[in-house]
């Protein structure tokens, strides 16, 4: 019976990974189909590539980690379907819109959507960590790392966008790219072993 439950759980995660990956890949294909050679398009394409790599692991690391702790919690299992799965799919939908914006040359919209994605991700990660604490389970360092990195870069973007947008001398697409690139590189540098599965305890 235990093996049957584990098989059913693994099938559920696998289905979620497939549905999520299809939407992400569909969005990314728009960048290839609408390819342009200007630097704004190239910058957005680089960020979209890194975001695809990072958020591709969300079902395995975020949803699976939480779902495992809900084995004996029927109420929270229902919350998973009402809240967490829609939030997961919202990540892929926002990414799709980011890629669609790039293909149509709406580069400012691409970065606004990117930082909106970071804000949604921060909120979701915080809710996962809060529930882990409620379940008296240790909060994993990967969640703290992702939350801190995304929150700090979102705040930096917000500060520059609202207060300094008109006084920065370089093109907005350059400094927006640099902030987004910093966010992605910090993520990879700190949590690459987690993505690769070499650090399962983090």
* pLDDT at residue 3, rounded to an integer: 61
pLDDT band for 1, please (50, 70, 90 cuts).
very low
Listed in order, strand segments (DSSP E) in the chain are none
Which of 12-26, 79-93, 151-165 is the most confident on average?
79-93
- Is 57 a residue whose pLDDT tops 50? yes
* Surface-to-core class of residue 88, CB atoms within 10 Å of its CB (0-12 exposed, 13-18 middle, 19+ buried): buried
Task: Record the pTM.
Answer: 0.88
Question: Per-residue pLDDT for 134 more than 70?
Answer: yes
Integer Cα distance of 111 and 107 in angstroms: 7
Give the residue-averaged pLDDT of 129-140.
Answer: 86
pLDDT band at 194 (very low <50, low <70, confident <90, very high): confident
Find tokens 């999520």 and name the residue: 20
Greater confidence (108 vs 60) lies with 108
Residues in the chain: 202
User: Which tokens belong to 5?
Assistant: 């439950």
Residue (of 67, 63, 61) closest to 87 by Cα position: 63
Q: Residues 99-128: what's their mean pLDDT?
A: 95
SS (H, E, C) 143-182: HHHHHHHHHHHHHHHHHHHHHCCCCCCCCHHHHHHHHHHH
Residue 189 has pLDDT above 50, yes or no: yes
More confident residue, 40 or 6: 40
Across the range 140-148, mean pLDDT stands at: 90
- Over 60: is that where the pLDDT of 98 sits? yes
> Quick one: what percent of the chain has pLDDT higher than 90?
55
H-type alpha helices, 34-136: 39-55, 58, 64-68, 74-79, 85-103, 107-134
């Amino acid at each position: 019976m235990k093996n049957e439950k584990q098989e059913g759980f693994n099938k559920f995660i696998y289905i979620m990974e497939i549905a999520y990956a299809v939407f992400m890949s569909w969005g990314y294909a728009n960048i290839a189909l609408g390819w342009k050679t200007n630097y704004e398009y190239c910058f957005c394409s680089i960020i979209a590539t890194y975001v695809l790599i990072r958020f591709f692991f969300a079902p395995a690391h975020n949803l699976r980690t939480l779902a495992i702790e809900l084995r004996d919690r029927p109420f929270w299992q229902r919350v998973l379907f009402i809240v967490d799965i829609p939030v997961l799919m919202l990540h892929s939908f926002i990414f799709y819109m980011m890629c669609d914006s790039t293909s149509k040359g709406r580069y400012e919209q691409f970065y606004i959507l990117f930082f909106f994605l970071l804000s949604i991700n921060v909120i979701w990660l915080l809710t996962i960590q809060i529930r882990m604490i409620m379940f008296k389970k240790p909060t994993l360092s990967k969640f703290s790392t992702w939350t801190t990195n995304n929150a700090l870069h979102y705040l930096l973007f917000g500060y520059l966008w609202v207060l300094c947008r008109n006084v920065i001398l370089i093109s907005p697409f350059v400094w927006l790219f640099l902030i987004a690139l910093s966010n992605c590189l910090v993520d990879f540098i700190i949590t690459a072993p987690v993505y690769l599965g070499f650090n399962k305890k983090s």
